[in-house]
Structure formats: structure tokens, C-alpha cells
Amino acid sequence: MTKKPIILGVESSCDETAVAVLQDGENGNAKILSNIVSSQFEVHKEFGGVVPELAARSHLEKIDLITKKALNESKIKISDIDAIAVTAGPGLIVCLSVGLNFAKGLASSINKPLIVVNHLEGHALSPKINSKLEYPYLLLLISGGHTQYLSVEGLGQYKRLGTTIDDALGEAYDKTAKLLGIDFPGGPKIEKLSEKGDPNKFKLPKPIINKGGCNLSFAGLKTAILRITKNIKNEQEKFDLAASFQKTIEEILYEKTKIAFGEYLKKNNDRNFVIAGGVAANKGIRNILNKLSKEYDFKTIFPELSLCSDNAAMIAMVGIEKYKLKLFDKLDFKPNPRWALDKDAKFLKGAGVKL
């Protein structure tokens, strides 16, 4: 029997230094042999967002060690790795450069192919690691830097149906958290606080809810929350604001996803709906999108919770699919900080990176 390909993935696009080793599996999924993620929360905590120079320095300091750890844990010898897959964009250029240069060095030293990966494609394929999922499918990508509805037609084939016109959803969570005096990244903490609050206490705006198709907007929420926080009197009101924010986000996603379903079905018959990216870990969002999908006869597919936020397993997963098609890259490939999944889609948003 021929050996199934084994890919080492490297991720360093923002504030996680991550390396994983995956082996191609049955049914188009993969076996995780190791998956190491080192987050830089402590480095950026006091700044309320990611500081690019500090992030790059931390990647440089850790990437060797994380790779050794990932190889040790996988029990795979470096000579048994078939290719090195690495994130080459989008993200912070100083951070991308660290991972990409490291991967180039590793690939050439073991004389194996280099495969560059779009970080967003990593999120898009993350549920494939553990579940059977065939193309095409509808994707809602919700992370710290991106919020998009995409029709995923095949590997590297994306059609954007809608996008945020200002802040990404993770960014909206993080900014709200900051206004409530909560450390970065605030998303998971807002979710926790919201469980103790009254979701009907504060009425928040739902920008462009009745226009713009399935495009989204979250910047107006921040302004409203800033105004309310100035008059907050006690802890309970903080919880109420977190709960009202969480409920408003759920309502926005409910309405916009309905529109996205309609857009998607204009050209497709299947009804698979993937929700991926860091914010896909949010239980309230998972519940509301499960409910809506049932009503519209869609099947929801989420990545494992540990694979929602940035990791290198998802990068190696794309690596496996590209490896099987012999889609290899040259060693002079440059990082691409604004690498869009749908290159024909109109540019509607800012820098496309976290905070």
C-alpha cells in the first residue's frame, strides 16, 4: 500500500505561532498527528490589540521550538514529511514573512515541495479535517479580520456573496470588550459575561439590516456601545450590555444568513452550510444558525472547537488537498498581506487584519 501523504503546516499570519503535522485520511479528511498553537495574548494584552513588530519578534523566537515540538509529538521523522504548507496571506506582512521564510528554509533543507496557503482557505477547509464535506458549500467565515459569505465551489474556487463593509465580527466583539474594560481578545469573555445579563435591557442598532443584500456592517454598534458605557452604573449593567450585544449579533446573523441562503440557492442545489473562523466558537451564534438552518433545510457544519481559532492544522489540510493535485510553489513566493479568496470581488473593506 502506498503511504498517505504527510504534510507539515506552518501558521504565523497574526498572533498565533502554530505548527501541525497531518496525514491524509479516508473520505477526504485527515488525521492530526500533532497540532501545536502558541498564542501571544500576554504579549499584546496591555495594548488592546496586536502590535505587529512584537508579534513578528515573538514568532521568530518561537517558531523553531514549536516545530520541534510538533515533530516530536507526531512521532514523524522530518525525512518522512512529504511537503511543507505555510500561510502566505492575508495577514500582517512582518508576521507572514517569519513563517514563510522559515517554511522555505525547511522545504529546501529536506528537498521537499513548498505549498503556500491562503489563511482564509485554511478556515474554509477546517471542518474537512474531521468530517466528510464535499464541494460545493456555503461558507460563513467569521474571524478577527474577516466576515464573509462565500460560495465554495472547489479548492481555490470562491465566489463572495457578501462581506462586512467596515469592522469584522471578531473585531466588533473585541472593541465592545475593550469598551467594557475587558482584555484582548474579548470575544470569548463577552460570551461568558452575556450569560449573566438581560439581553433585552439595551436596544442596539442593526446597521444595514434591510439593505445591501447579505453584506454586513458592525461599526455603528461600537458607537452605540460607547455612548451606553458612559452611563453604566454597576456590574449588572455591564452584563446586560454584553447580553444585549450578543443578542443583537445573533439577530443580525439570522437575517443576513437568510439572504445568503437565497443568494446561494440561485446557483446551487446542495444545502451544506459551513461556519468557520474564531467567532464560530460562539455558542449563541452556533445555536441561532443551527435553528435557522433547520427552518431552511440546510445542514450546518462547524469545525471542532479547537480548530475554530487560528491553527496550523487547517493550513496543513489545505496543503494535503494541494499536494494531491501537485500544486507546488516556488521558493521565491512573496507574502501577500491582502490575498482575497474571491479575486473578482469588489474591495469593500479596510486592511483585512485584526484590530
Say whether residue 166 binds Zn ion (CB under 5 A). Answer: no
Q: How many CA atoms lie within 13 A of 272 on its CB side?
A: 18
Looking only at residues 131 through 160 of this chain, which bind ligand KG4 when binding is defined by CB under 6 A? 143-145
Between the CA of residue 109 and those of 22, 58, 84, 113, what are the distances in Å?
20, 23, 11, 10
Taking the complex as a whole, the smallest distance from the CB of residue 3 to ligand KG4 amounts, in Å, to 32
Examine residue 127 and tell whether it contacts ligand KG4 (CB under 6 A).
Answer: no
Contact between 118 and Zn ion by CB under 5 A: the answer reads no
Query: In the complex, what is the shortest distance from the CB of residue 353 to ligand KG4, in angstroms, rounded to a whole number?
Result: 8
Nearer to ligand KG4, 110 or 165 (CB): 165
Among 82, 310, 321, 329, binds Zn ion (CB under 5 A): 310
- Give min distance, CB of 122 to ligand KG4, in A: 9
Instruction: Pick between residue 145 and residue 162 the one whose CB is nearest to Zn ion.
Output: 145
Q: Residue 285 CB, nearest distance to Zn ion (Å)?
A: 16
Beta carbon of residue 133, minimum distance to Zn ion (angstroms, whole number): 19
The answer for residues whose C-beta is within 8 angstroms of residue 117's C-beta and 6 or more apart is 9, 85, 86, 87, 88, 315, 318, 319, 322
| Smallest separation, CB 335 to Zn ion (Å) | 15
What's the grid cell of residue 206? 442593526
Our finding on whether 90 is near ligand KG4 (CB under 6 A) is no
The residue among 17 and 248 lying less far from Zn ion, judged by its C-beta, is 17
Q: Can you name the residues that pair with 300 across neighbouring β-strands? A: 273
344/355 Cα distance (integer angstroms) = 25
Residues between 306 and 325 with contacts to ligand KG4, criterion CB under 6 A = 309-310
Of positions 9, 278, 335, 337, contacts ligand KG4 by CB under 6 A = 278
Rounded to whole angstroms, the Cα distance separating 143 from 340 reads 14
Under rule CB under 5 A, which residues in 33-92 are in contact with Zn ion? none
H-only helix segments in 296-353: 313-324
**Mask for 12-41, x = binds ligand KG4 (CB under 6 A):** --x---------------------------
Distance of CA 317 to the CA centre of its chain: 14
Give kind and range of the element (H or E) at residue 116.
strand 114-118
Under 8 Å between Cβ of 313 and 22 = yes
DSSP assigned state of 310: S
CA Rg, the chain, in Å?
A: 20
Residue 282, interface with ligand KG4 (CB under 6 A)? yes
Instruction: Indicate left, alpha or beta for 173 from its phi (over 0: left) and psi (-120 to 50: alpha).
Output: alpha
- Among residues 91 and 319, whose Cβ is nearest to ligand KG4? 91
Query: Among 181, 161, 180, which residue's Cα sits nearest to residue 240?
Result: 180
User: Is position 281 an interface residue for ligand KG4 (rule: CB under 6 A)?
Assistant: yes
Which contiguous run of DSSP H or E holds residue 227? helix 219-229
How many amino acids of this chain bind ligand KG4 (CB under 6 A)?
Answer: 20
User: Contact residues for ligand KG4 (CB under 6 A)?
Assistant: 14, 143-145, 170, 173-174, 185-188, 191, 277-279, 281-282, 309-310, 354
The site for Zn ion (CB under 5 A) is made up of 143, 310
